[in-house]
C-alpha cells in the first residue's frame, strides 16, 4: 500500500502524486492542521475556502472509489502538524511507500524532505505538474543572464506551448499589448457580478468551524461565495470568458469605488490551489479569441498574467530562496501602520482597498501594486511586515507568489532582480486610474501642505532618500532629472511635509 499525501493547495485530480494510483490499495491523506492554518494568521475567508475545497476534494475521491484518510481541524486526536499526522497515518496503515507532490512553499518542502530521515519508509517527492515551467528549466533559462526580465521569459513560454502563435511569430505581430490595457475608470460601466456560489452543507460546516476557531483572524467570513470544487471553478472560468473577458484588457488597471471585482477573472484563487489547470485556462481564453469572442489585447493580457507572470514569479522564488525572504535593498525599517488592518485613514484610496480586502480576501493587481504597495514603498515599510500582510489577507496568496511580487515588484527590496525599477507613483497616477480621489480628505491637485495628497510629496521624498541607490537606474532618469531642477525651497517643503506626515503615521495618528 502506498500512502499518497495531498496538501491543501494541491487539489487537482491530475496532480502528480495521484498518478498511477491503485484505488483498491492506496490511501490518500489530507489534513487540516493548525501549523499550516496559523503559519501566518490567514484571512478567515481564505481558511474557509481551503478547508471547504479540501473536504469537497476528498468527497470526490471517495465517490470515485479511492480510499482516503481525512483529518478535520477539530478532530480530537489531530496532531496539529503535517508531520505529526503522517506519523499517525504510518502507525495506523503501515504503508510501503509515501508519495507526495513537491510543496509550493520553501518551509513546507524542508518539512517534507525531513521525512526521509524521520520515517523508515521510502519517500518519493514528485515534480508539481500544475506548473508549466519546471524549477530546473527556469534555472537553465536564468543562467548567465544579467537581467531576468519577464518579457523574454514569457516569449519563450509562448513559443514552447504554441500559445497565440502563427508559426514562429506572435499573433497580431507583437508579443505584448499592455500599452492598450491602461484605460482609466469611468462611471457608467456595466460591470458583471463575480462568480457566486451558494454554500452547501460541507461549506456551512466549515464556516461555523472558522467562525469558532479563528475568530481573532483578520477579515469578514461572510458572505462566502467562492467556488470550492473543480466543477464550480470551471463555471467561474466560463462566466469570466462569457461576461468579462471582452473588457478585461481595456480596464485591467482601472479602479472604481464600490466595484472590487471590475472585469478581472478572480481565477487565481482556483488556479493556485489546484481546482483549475493554468494551461486549460490559457487554452480556453485563446480559443475565445480564435472564435471572435474577445479582442487580442484582452486575451494576450490574461495569458501573460498566467503563462508569463505566474510562472516567472514562481521561478524567481525557487531560484532565490531561502535568502530572498530577507532582502531589503532600500533598507526600509518603518513598521506596518495599523490602518492596513483597520482602514482608519483619511486617504480614500487606501481606505477603499483595505475595506475591500477585508470583505473579499481579494484586491486586484493595481490596487495591490499602485495603492497598497505604492504607499508601502514610499513610506519605507519593512519588507518582512509587508510580505506577511499580503500573505495573510489574500485568498490566492502563498509564499511562492506573494514574496516575489512584494519584495521584487512592490518594494524593490531585491534591488532589481525581478523589476527593472521601483513602481513608485504620485497621486496623479491614482487619480488618473480611479475615482478614489473624488471622495478623499486630501486634495490630489495640491503638492504640499497639510491638505495635499500624501502620495505627492512622499513620492519625491522617496526619490530624495534613495538617490544614492536609484539615481543611476536608467529607468529612473526622467524623475531624477526633474528632481535636479527643483529649487532648494521646494525640496525643503517636500521633506518637511514628509517628515510631518510620517511622524504622525509612526505615532499612530489617523492620517
pTM for the full predicted model: 0.96
Q: Give domain 135-192+244-320's CATH number out of 1.20.58.100, 1.10.1040.50, 1.25.40.80, 3.40.50.1820.
A: 1.25.40.80
Contact 351, 511 (CB under 8 A): no
pLDDT in tens, 184-206: 877 778 899 999 999 999 999 99
Identify the bridge partners of residue 434 per DSSP, sorted by sequence position.
255
**What is the CATH topology of the domain spanning 2-126?**
Rossmann fold (3.40.50)
pLDDT of residue 181: 82
pLDDT of residue 183: 87
Residue 91 neighbours by CB under 8 Å, 6+ apart: none
pLDDT of residue 185: 79
Show the low-confidence residues of the chain (pLDDT under 70). Answer: none
Chain-centroid distance of CA 283 in Å reads 22
Report in angstroms the alpha-carbon separations of 448 from 458, 466, 501: 10, 20, 11
Residue 124 neighbours by CB under 8 Å, 6+ apart: 97, 98, 99, 100
Looking at domain 339-506, its CATH class is mainly alpha
pLDDT of residue 345: 98
- Cα–Cα distance for residue pair 251/259, rounded to 1 Å: 12
- Cα–Cα distance for residue pair 294/246, rounded to 1 Å: 5
- φ, ψ for residue 180, nearest 5 deg: -90, 0
pLDDT in tens, 222-274: 999 999 999 999 999 999 999 999 999 999 999 999 999 999 999 999 999 99
Give Dmax (Cα) for the chain.
79
Whose cell is 512592490? That residue is: 410
Residue 511: helix, strand or coil by DSSP? coil
Q: Locate the domains of the chain by residue range.
A: 2-126, 135-192+244-320, 339-506
Show the cell assigned to 28.
490518500
pLDDT of residue 186: 77
pLDDT of residue 433: 95
Chain-centroid distance of CA 473 in Å reads 27
- Cα–Cα distance for residue pair 278/228, rounded to 1 Å: 17
- Cα–Cα distance for residue pair 473/480, rounded to 1 Å: 10
Whose cell is 511586515? That residue is: 385
Amino acid at each position: 500500500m502506498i500512502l499518497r499525501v495531498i496538501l491543501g493547495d494541491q487539489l487537482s485530480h491530475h496532480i502528480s502524486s495521484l498518478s498511477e494510483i491503485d484505488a483498491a490499495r492506496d490511501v490518500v491523506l489530507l489534513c487540516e492542521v493548525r501549523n499550516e492554518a496559523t503559519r501566518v494568521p490567514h484571512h478567515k475567508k481564505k481558511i474557509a475556502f481551503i478547508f471547504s475545497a479540501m473536504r469537497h476534494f476528498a468527497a470526490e475521491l471517495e465517490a470515485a472509489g479511492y480510499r482516503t484518510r481525512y483529518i478535520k481541524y477539530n478532530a480530537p486526536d489531530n496532531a496539529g502538524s503535517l508531520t505529526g499526522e503522517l506519523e499517525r497515518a504510518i502507525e495506523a496503515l503501515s504503508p510501503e511507500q509515501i508519495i507526495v507532490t513537491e510543496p509550493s512553499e520553501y518551509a513546507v518542502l524542508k518539512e517534507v524532505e525531513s521525512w526521509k530521515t524521520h520515517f523508515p519508509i521510502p519517500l518519493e517527492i514528485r515534480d508539481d505538474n500544475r506548473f508549466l515551467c519546471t524549477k530546473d528549466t527556469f534555472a537553465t533559462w536564468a543562467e548567465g543572464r544579467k537581467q531576468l526580465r519577464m518579457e523574454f521569459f514569457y516569449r519563450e513560454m509562448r513559443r514552447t506551448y504554441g500559445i497565440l502563435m502563427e508559426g514562429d511569430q506572435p499573433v497580431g505581430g507583437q508579443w505584448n499589448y499592455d500599452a492598450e490595457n491602461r484605460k482609466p475608470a469611468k462611471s457608467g460601466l456595466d460591470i458583471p457580478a463575480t462568480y457566486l456560489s451558494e454554500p452547501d452543507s460541507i461549506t456551512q460546516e466549515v464556516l461555523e468551524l472558522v467562525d469558532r476557531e479563528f475568530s481573532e483572524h483578520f477579515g469578514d467570513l461572510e458572505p462566502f461565495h467562492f467556488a470550492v470544487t473543480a466543477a464550480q471553478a470551471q463555471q467561474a472560468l466560463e462566466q469570466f470568458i462569457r461576461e468579462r473577458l471582452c473588457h478585461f484588457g481595456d480596464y485591467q488597471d482601472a479602479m472604481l469605488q464600490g466595484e472590487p471585482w471590475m472585469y478581472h477573472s478572480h481565477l487565481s484563487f482556483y488556479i493556485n490551489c489546484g481546482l483549475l489547470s493554468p494551461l486549460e485556462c490559457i487554452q480556453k481564453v485563446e480559443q475565445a479569441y480564435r472564435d471572435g469572442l474577445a479582442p487580442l489585447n484582452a486575451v494576450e493580457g490574461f495569458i501573460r498574467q498566467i503563462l508569463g507572470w505566474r510562472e516567472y514569479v514562481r521561478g524567481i522564488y525557487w531560484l532565490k530562496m531561502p535568502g530572498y525572504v530577507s532582502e531589503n535593498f532600500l533598507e526600509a525599517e518603518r513598521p506596518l501602520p495599523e490602518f492596513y488592518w483597520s482602514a482608519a485613514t483619511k486617504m480614500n484610496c487606501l481606505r477603499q482597498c483595505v475595506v475591500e480586502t477585508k470583505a473579499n480576501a481579494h484586491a486586484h493587481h493595481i490596487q495591490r501594486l499602485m495603492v497598497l504597495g505604492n504607499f508601502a514603498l514610499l513610506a519605507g515599510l519593512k519588507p518582512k511586515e509587508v510580505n506577511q500582510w499580503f500573505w495573510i489577507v489574500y485568498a490566492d496568496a502563498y509564499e511562492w507568489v506573494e514574496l516575489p511580487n512584494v519584495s521584487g515588484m512592490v518594494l524593490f527590496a531585491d534591488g532589481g532582480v525581478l523589476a527593472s525599477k521601483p513602481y513608485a507613483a504620485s497621486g496623479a497616477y491614482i487619480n488618473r486610474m480611479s475615482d478614489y480621489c473624488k471622495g478623499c480628505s486630501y486634495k490630489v491637485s495640491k503638492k504640499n501642505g497639510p491638505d495635499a495628497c500624501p502620495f505627492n510629496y512622499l513620492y519625491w521624498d522617496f526619490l530624495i532618500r534613495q538617490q544614492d541607490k536609484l539615481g543611476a537606474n536608467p529607468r529612473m532618469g526622467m524623475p531624477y532629472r526633474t528632481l535636479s531642477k527643483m529649487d532648494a525651497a521646494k525640496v525643503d517643503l517636500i521633506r518637511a511635509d514628509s517628515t510631518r506626515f510620517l511622524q504622525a503615521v509612526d505615532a499612530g495618528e489617523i492620517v
